Structure 1
Amino acid sequence: MKGMGNMGGMMKQMQKMQKKMMQAQDELHEMTFEASAGGGMVTVTANGKKEITDVQIKEEVVDPDDIDMLQDLILAATNDVIKQIEDKTNDTMGQFTKGLNMPGMF
């Protein structure tokens, strides 16, 4: 059965690729991402798991009469940091799915 040896080699390749994918994902999860809004008035930090780990707000942006602006800055910085994580994840993990038609994989 000649075809069976080829199947075994393909399985080894798949296992190797899976191990590399898991390693890449672990590395992504350990990364730190940061985004700011309002010229650095609000800075949001997150890890590669999309968990917000820190929010810094400069004192001068805290205006009780303009809470809406502060909320907008926080939203902008948070959305930016999440987009950075998604872009990096797609770039990193996309190398494993190039040429494969696997919708919704990541």
Structure 2
Amino acid sequence: MFKGLGAMGDMAKMMKAATEMQSKMSEMQDNLHNIMIVGESGAGLVKATATAKGELKGLDIDPSIFSGDDKEVVEDLILAAIKDAQQKAAERSQEEMAKLTEEMGLPPGMNLPT
């Protein structure tokens, strides 16, 4: 289609590739909002669910931790579960980005915005 156009053909190919990459990035961003990650603390007594973008979606607390005057312990467990979910979300986001860059033939480790 672009044969004989020289640099114009190369530019058109680059523009098409850039448009395709932008489309795939947008699709990946949407997918990250749908991937759910569960972080936990206290051997599973507190579980935090977040999207792969790190948005907290849910919190599950085993009622057995509400006995006595353990308010500070409960707060610490909740924070630990949320941090665990956020860390796992960040790792999953990077994994998804690595898959996308590999599919597109980009060099490994190329950091694209997430």
1:1-106 counterparts in 2 under 5 A? 2-94=6-98, 95-96=100-101, 98-99=106-107, 105-106=113-114
| Residue 53 of structure 1: how far off its partner (Å) | 1.4
Structure 2: how far apart are the matches of 1:58 and 1:33? 18
Greater displacement, 64-73 / 9-18:
64-73
* 3-state secondary structure, aligned to 1:99: coil
Q: 1:101 to 1:77 in 2, by over 3 A?
A: closer
Letter of the structure 1 residue corresponding to residue 51 of structure 2: N
| Residue 100 of structure 1: how far off its partner (Å) | 8.0
Q: Give TM-score, length-normalised by structure 1.
A: 0.84
| Root-mean-square deviation over aligned CA pairs | 2.2
What 5-or-longer segments of structure 1 have no aligned partner? none
Count, aligned residues: 106
| Residue 58 of structure 1: how far off its partner (Å) | 1.0
Letter of the structure 2 residue corresponding to residue 105 of structure 1: P
Asked if 1 retains the 8 angstrom alpha-carbon contact of 2:36 and 2:51, the reply is yes
